[in-house]
Chains A and B, each alone.
Chain A
């Protein structure tokens, strides 16, 4: 009897003390492609533009302009062509929500 209670005390945190991760509180994973952006876009003050503080509309608009060639680029034109409008929109919204590319 006593052993059973000791075990219960041990088991309780194991069974119910599951991490936030397992309780639906986990952050939604970024949309496809989004996590790569921070490899080049970081804090302000770099020669590579920061995405921090930019709205989703601005980011999605830039990507569309890079894709069409309307906006000149060294390589963002080559990257923008790898994403559909819908994917670009999702990435832009996620980045804007992060406050910076993460």
Chain B
């Protein structure tokens, strides 16, 4: 510093000669470091707000004017919740002073540290946070292409797809067969298909009792399995049949024309077909080289920095987060740890090792909740379970306990959406 005042010209000449003064001012530390966050879901919106609170200039890139949340959208399919209760605006985030680029990010130049927008505009960044969520893999299940979703909705991104599946269930005659196809791991919200199966079965039992739900699963074991299966036996013995991998449950093909779901063991004609297809990280992650061959993004478990792209952090469903499941709670937890790590890195310091929590509630019936929780820490390069912590609700519990967990599930949704969007 004293060198500047005593020999200003020499220092200035040196700065100019480095050629980095104008080309890359961030190398010198500009007035405010810039972070771009791509994706305004539970991860991205949380991260943008957390970074903003830390004094970092944030731009959130999100093309949609509203966000439709997946958690609790199974109650919309059940018929007991309005889709509008799932919908949030970015108004509060904008009021925080966060700039929102309301368009698609069309690409990233990781070397120049620039996000390109669909309009052709560019956003420079010191660090980039990718929270692109999931994309449906239309190359993974024969017959399930982009046109098929209008006939056999996945409803795995909440919104119009959720409404369509609800409408199909409502229109179905009593005595109909609903077929649900569940993919192999990993996918968004591991217990989600089983919550959905439960609530569809509840709807059938109470409104269309001659109907049946057939769940065709590409796995033999799944999240909260014994809790779900015990509850199904108790609540929906005549309305829900689950077929695992060993029983021939893996879907190999679908036919929209015949309304048929095909497995290695047979063909299942459906009146309503809900196909939850294989997934991968949102496209931009693969396009910019942050995803590996699995389609998901390996990350450093301390900073969430992409292992394949420096200065780029990946949070939420798109990340390979070790033992942490792909959930909204996880994305929210990632986002806050990532924001702190990004701020620390921008100060030129080394982030300390974090711990993270996940809690996932599932509804087996509207007043019957179960949960799984976990605590995670970096170990051997991934986010691993903290031994001795976490686990599911007890297998034996009173109705009151299940009702209390359903109530807490509701409270969680209110609180987390208020932290993210309120």
Contacts and interface: CB of A to CB of B under 8 A. Distances in A.
Interface of A: 4, 7-8, 10-22, 26-27, 29-30, 32-33, 35-43, 46-48, 74-75, 78-83, 87
Interface of B: 1, 4, 8-9, 11-13, 15-16, 21, 25, 28-33, 50, 54-56, 329, 332-333, 336-337, 340, 343-344, 346-348, 351-357, 359, 371, 373-375, 377, 386, 388-391, 393, 401, 404-405, 407-408, 410-412, 414-416, 418-419
A102 to B, nearest CB: 8
A21 B389 contact: no
Contact of B13 (A4, A48, A75): A4
A95 to B, nearest CB: 13
Given A21-B56, A36-B336, A74-B393, A46 B355 contact: no
A75 B373 contact: yes
Counting from the closest, the 3 A-B pairs by CB-CB distance are A82-B375, A82-B389, A36-B357
Contacts of B390: 78-79, 81-82
Q: Count chain A CB atoms within 10 A of each CB in B13, B329, B347, B418 and give the residue with the most.
A: B347
Contact of A40 (B25, B30, B354, B416): B416
Contact of B29 (A22, A26, A30): A22
A48 B389 CA distance: 21
B355 A33 contact: yes
A38 to B, nearest CB: 6
A98 to B, nearest CB: 11
A27 B25 CA distance: 25
A74 to B, nearest CB: 5
17 contacts: A8-B9, A14-B25, A15-B28, A15-B29, A21-B56, A21-B347, A32-B352, A33-B354, A35-B340, A36-B336, A39-B416, A40-B408, A42-B419, A43-B415, A47-B408, A74-B371, A82-B389
B325 to A, nearest CB: 14
A33 B31 CA distance: 31
Contacts of A40: 359, 408, 411-412, 415-416
A8 B359 CA distance: 54
Given A15-B4, A74-B393, A26 B416 contact: no
A33 B416 CA distance: 16
Given A35-B337, A42-B419, A46-B415, A18 B29 contact: yes
Nearest to B331: A39
A38 B1 CA distance: 42
Contact of A33 (B21, B356, B391, B404): B356
Contact of B388 (A20, A29, A81): A81
Given A32-B352, A33-B375, A39-B416, A74 B408 contact: yes
A22 B54 CA distance: 11
A47 B410 contact: yes
Nearest to A32: B355
Contacts of A29: 340, 343-344, 351-352
Contacts of A14: 21, 25, 28-31
Contacts of B343: 21, 26, 29
Contacts of A20: 55
Nearest to A11: B15
A39 B359 contact: yes
Nearest to B356: A36
Contacts of A48: 408, 411-412, 415
B357 A79 contact: yes
B373 A78 contact: yes
Contacts of B9: 4, 8
Given A21-B343, A21-B346, A75-B371, A27 B332 contact: no
A79 to B, nearest CB: 5
Contacts of B32: 19, 21
Contact of A79 (B50, B359, B407): B359
Contacts of B337: 35-36
B333 A36 contact: yes
A46 B416 CA distance: 12
Contact of A7 (B12, B28, B348, B408): B12
B12 A4 contact: yes
Nearest to B328: A39
Nearest to A34: B355
Given A11-B12, A29-B340, 15 more contacts: A8-B9, A14-B25, A21-B54, A21-B56, A21-B343, A22-B346, A26-B55, A32-B377, A35-B336, A36-B337, A38-B419, A42-B419, A47-B411, A82-B388, A87-B355
Contacts of B28: 11, 14-15
A73 B21 CA distance: 58
A2 B404 CA distance: 74
A42 B9 CA distance: 55
B57 to A, nearest CB: 9
